[in-house]
Amino acid sequence: MVLISLKENMVSSFTAVDYVLFAALLLLSSSIGIYQACRGGSSSTTEALQAGKSLNFVPVALSILASFFSASTLLGTPAEIYLRGSIYWISIVGAVLPPFLGAFVFGPFFHKLNILTVFEYLESRYNGTLIRRIAALLFCLRAVIGAGIVLYGPATALSAVTPLPTWAAIVATGAVATFYTTIGGMKAVVWTDVFQMLLMFCGMLAVIIKGSISVGGMNEVWKIADRGGRLKLNNLWSFDPTIRHTFWSLTIGIFFVWLPPYSVDQQMVQRFTSTKTLNQARLALLFNAPGMAIIISLCCLTGLVMYARYENCDPLSSGKISNSNQLLPYFVMDVLSDAKGLPGLFVACILSGALSSISSMLNSLAAVLWKDILSAFVKIEDDKTATKLTKFLVVVFGAFSIGAAFAVGRLQGTVLQMSLTLNGSLGSPLVGMFLLAVFVPWSGQIGSLIGSIVGLGISMWLSLGAFVTKPNVLDNLPVSTSGCIVSNISTVAPVVSTVPNEVISGIKKFYSLSYLWNTSIGIVLTVFIGMVLSAIFRENHRIRPNMMLSYLDTFWPCVPKKLRDRCRSRRITSMKMQEDDKKAEEKRDKDEETSKNSSQ
């Protein structure tokens, strides 16, 4: 049995070289923002929010990938594999599908509308501002909470390996991201994302290579993982929704989790419309499919390497770390401390994941609040003044995000679970709204709003209930401390830790649902209730043909003719009204021209 020496002070391993690398990342990220500002990267609202629509697909692809794969993924996924085994690896199947939908369905649809925010579409589709304002506010709430989760993740990592306290790490990370986003605009966000994405790849590869060498190579990693049950796919085909991970939750559930960011998320649409052409935008999303598979695989491999290292000396059970989000930082300082610079590279890697996500959220938040809410009440004709206002909004949301990070720190669970649960629950009604608008011709504003409120309420109730009650769903695999030593003489008392049994009943049964189902529940409820109520209220509003996907009619032959005619009647009427308007406008132009000729 291999004995692992538990280091009493992991901070002492962070050398001057590591601090230099860490500081260099912050300086370089800020420098990119300053450089783009000098080049006029935020001289106008179009430049600041859409990069002047001048970007190629490669930087946009890496920027989208970096934005959606934050420090929550880099820290949470390895911890998930370490604690519960490699079954999460199957999530690749469900995760790679949404980018294809974004590339061929939603992205081109919004690109042709030539809009800055996705919520402009809702107003045009339903001919009402109420749904646009509510959807925009919901997005702002989701993005601020998401930014808080993203900030909290690397803060715990930094506090585990440096003397920097968690609160100071949160403030420093949020301040840097706010700074370069404010002065450099979208171009600064995209190009820092590119740099940070490459740094994330290098950091994860360094951890995997050095960590596997420390336990005897990858063959030994697989053997130890198999011996510890980390390669077993327990309950894979179970239909029990309370089991944390099954094939169904990791494919269908994960598909719905990743559907919001790759379909109607403001960050995606803003980048999609910042490219030179539609084909460039489509390529950017298509490149995200293999990129997602690579990142998830690297994170899963890291988790297996961590378990191979601590098979007989679990840092959590031995009290060396306080929560599972510190597993990876502890592992890095344990294994890489003899290689000067590598711990600093890892911390820079984690910080890069946070900076890329935060900067993207701040830029999108400023765009949404200005365009969808404030512009209706604050009339600003001068583009320079509007640009200054959006920069001020970035600073405000940066402060809100820092505050949200402190609130997130009170929740329990891995940052991966917090990110997927809360972001998914808040994003599900937004996706439902857009699915109703795009695919359901008879959907109305009232039905969509009520459906989204119910979908949001149910999904958030399940999410917050699970965090508050913490139902024990018996999903952690056994760990051991039989190989731990504190010094060359003493050893830690051998412990094999397993999850105690608990009978779940009553309301806790609902809270014990797998966190991966919350998003799908919210989306399905929003769409179903919206469809039913819209059919009941039968709101009268015009629908321009370009407000719905053009190939929608190909699906209707599958529906009985009587129902099909009833459902399509309003759209047919709307299209006829549109044609009548066009004819009336042509007639008016002709009459004006005739009158002008007569006067001459």
| pLDDT tens-digit series, residues 387-438 | 777 778 888 888 888 888 887 766 655 555 566 666 667 778 888 998 888 8
What phi and psi, each to the nearest 5 degrees, are found at residue 8? Answer: -75, -30
Per-residue DSSP letters for 401-456? HHHHHHHHTTS-S-HHHHHHHHHHHHHHHHHHHHHHHHH-TT--HHHHHHHHHHHH
Most confident of 33-47, 150-164, 392-406, 463-477: 392-406
- What is the pLDDT, as a whole number, of residue 409? 67
Enumerate domains of the chain plus CATH numbers. 4-537 (1.20.1730.10), 545-599 (no CATH)
Most confident of 172-186, 235-249, 354-368, 476-490: 235-249
Q: How far is CA 545 from CA 76, 184, 274, 489, 573, in A?
A: 44, 38, 25, 78, 11
pLDDT at residue 442 tops 60: yes
Most confident of 211-225, 276-290, 467-481, 581-595: 211-225
Per mean pLDDT, which range of 27-36, 85-94, 168-177, 197-206 is the poorest? 27-36
CA 275, 280, 282, 285 dihedral sign is negative
| Cα distance between residue 272 and residue 480, in whole Å | 48
pLDDT at residue 86 tops 80: yes
Per-residue DSSP letters for 490-511? -BPPP-EE-PPP----TTHHHH
- What is the pLDDT, as a whole number, of residue 527? 92
Res. 224 pLDDT band, cuts 50 70 90: very high
Tell me the pLDDT of the chain averaged across its residues.
Answer: 76
- What is the pLDDT, as a whole number, of residue 456? 86
pLDDT at residue 526 tops 90: yes
DSSP state of 513: S
Mean pLDDT over 557-585 rounds to 52
Residue type at position 590? K
DSSP reduced 3-state for 546:
helix
Number of C-alpha atoms within 13 angstroms, CB side, residue 466?
25
| Cα distance between residue 176 and residue 154, in whole Å | 14
What phi and psi, each to the nearest 5 degrees, are found at residue 504? Answer: -100, 125
Res. 501 pLDDT band, cuts 50 70 90: very low
| Cα distance between residue 391 and residue 178, in whole Å | 9
Q: Is 372:120 a contact under the CB 8 Å cutoff?
A: yes
DSSP state of 378: S
Which position has the higher pLDDT, 148 or 579? 148
- What is the pLDDT, as a whole number, of residue 93? 92
CB atoms within 10 A of CB 385: 11
| pLDDT tens-digit series, residues 455-473 | 888 888 887 777 667 665 5
- What is the pLDDT, as a whole number, of residue 552? 46
- Nearest CA to 514 among 251, 248, 242? 242
CB atoms within 10 A of CB 396: 14
557-588 as b/e, with b when 16 or more CB fall inside 10 Å? eeeeeeeeeebbebbeebeeeeeeeeeeeeee
Mean pLDDT over 120-147 rounds to 85
What phi and psi, each to the nearest 5 degrees, are found at residue 454? Answer: -65, -45
Res. 506 pLDDT band, cuts 50 70 90: low
Axis-axis angle for helices 445-469, 130-161 (nearest 10): 20
Res. 11 pLDDT band, cuts 50 70 90: very low
Per mean pLDDT, which range of 107-116, 133-142, 235-244, 307-316 is the poorest? 107-116
- What is the pLDDT, as a whole number, of residue 502? 55
DSSP H or E segment with residue 5: strand 4-5
| Cα distance between residue 504 and residue 141, in whole Å | 32
Q: How far is CA 317 from CA 6, 335, 499, in A?
A: 12, 19, 12
| pLDDT tens-digit series, residues 185-209 | 667 777 777 877 887 788 788 889 9
